[in-house]
Amino acid sequence: MAGETPHFIVFANEKGGTGKSTTAVHSAVALAAAGRRVAAVDLDTRQRTLGRYLDNRAATIRRIGIDLPMPVYETFDPAKDDDLAGLLDRLAADADVVVIDTPGRDDPYARAAMLRADTLVTPINDSFVDLDLIGEVDAETYKVRRPSFYAELVWNSRTQRAKATGASVDWVVLRNRLQHVEAKNMRRVGAALVDLSRRVGFRVIPGLGERVIYRELFPKGLTLLDLAQIGEVGIAHIAARQELREMIAGFGLPAGVAEGERPRAAAVG
């Protein structure tokens, strides 16, 4: 993809606790493992989950002395330099794909990142609390009454991008699976999402489960693609790795972005 404009994947959700940063990290590493030149940007200066996760991964690479797929990454700090456009342009110059993790709140820099998105990913948990972010649901019928503020924000961002560049934005709602959700409620959430997707134009794909596993991997910066370094691997790890692979496939990225010829490990100083 040398000389071509990189594909921007922006993970955005104004609600915290949806697995957004975990999903962003695993996506960045998975694409690097597929041979892509990946740049990852953390816009959440407060939490800095993506940046800290990749810091831990870099430390593990140095400590063990092995090559692991590793994106180039930076954490944006507007207090030091508020030129987000400059940062993204610099990283994009040597990348096939740029993964951006935004904070779980309304933020001007997150809005600016959304205007760059080729693929916009909004992770939600399987609950009406999370669904309320993008659509208001009737309390008795569970039917969607109208899109919420965030859906309107995304619509406006997609419209602005189309006018400015002529490019379309693929909005993907990532439905993270919870293990202890009552089946009837899951069906109701699913039906409401299908209804809302037709009205505001997003796709729904399955996301990541097994959240305890992801929390255990964080201190070493490992992912489910690093089973050789994890140690004791169980069925839950294998199942979660398959979920990750299905999620990446569900993004429907252009040829040359989702698949590469060989894994690529970045040097860590």
| Domains of the chain in sequence order | 7-250 (3.40.50.300)
Q: Report the pLDDT value the prediction gives residue 127, as an integer from 0 to 100.
A: 82
User: Which of 72, 108, 104 has the alpha carbon at shortest distance from 90?
Assistant: 72
Phi, psi of 118 (to 5 degrees): -90, -40
- Radius of gyration (Cα) for the chain, nearest Å? 18
User: Which of 156, 246, 243 has the alpha carbon at shortest distance from 201?
Assistant: 156
Q: Report the pLDDT value the prediction gives residue 261, as an integer from 0 to 100.
A: 41
Q: Report the pLDDT value the prediction gives residue 22, as an integer from 0 to 100.
A: 92
* Residues of the chain below pLDDT 50: 1-3, 260-269
Q: Report the pLDDT value the prediction gives residue 264, as an integer from 0 to 100.
A: 43
Q: Residue with structure tokens 């209804």? A: 195
Give the DSSP H/E element, type plus range, for residue 123: strand 119-125
Q: Check if the beta carbon of residue 209 is closer than 8 Å to that of residue 176.
A: yes
Residue range 73-95, pLDDT digits in tens: 999 999 999 999 999 999 999 99
Q: Report the pLDDT value the prediction gives residue 181, as an integer from 0 to 100.
A: 53
Q: Residue with structure tokens 């590493």? A: 29
Q: Check if the beta carbon of residue 69 is closer than 8 Å to that of residue 265.
A: yes
Sign of CA dihedral 22, 241, 219, 262: negative
Q: Report the pLDDT value the prediction gives residue 7, as an integer from 0 to 100.
A: 96
Q: Report the pLDDT value the prediction gives residue 258, as an integer from 0 to 100.
A: 57
Q: Residue with structure tokens 């831990």? A: 56
Residue range 1-33, pLDDT digits in tens: 444 789 999 999 988 888 899 999 999 999 999
Do the strands 97-101 and 203-206 form a parallel or antiparallel pair, or are they unpaired? unpaired
Q: Report the pLDDT value the prediction gives residue 17, as an integer from 0 to 100.
A: 83
Q: Report the pLDDT value the prediction gives residue 29, as an integer from 0 to 100.
A: 97
The model carries a pTM of: 0.90
Sign of CA dihedral 48, 49, 54, 57: positive
* Mean pLDDT for all residues in the chain: 88
Q: Report the pLDDT value the prediction gives residue 233, as an integer from 0 to 100.
A: 84
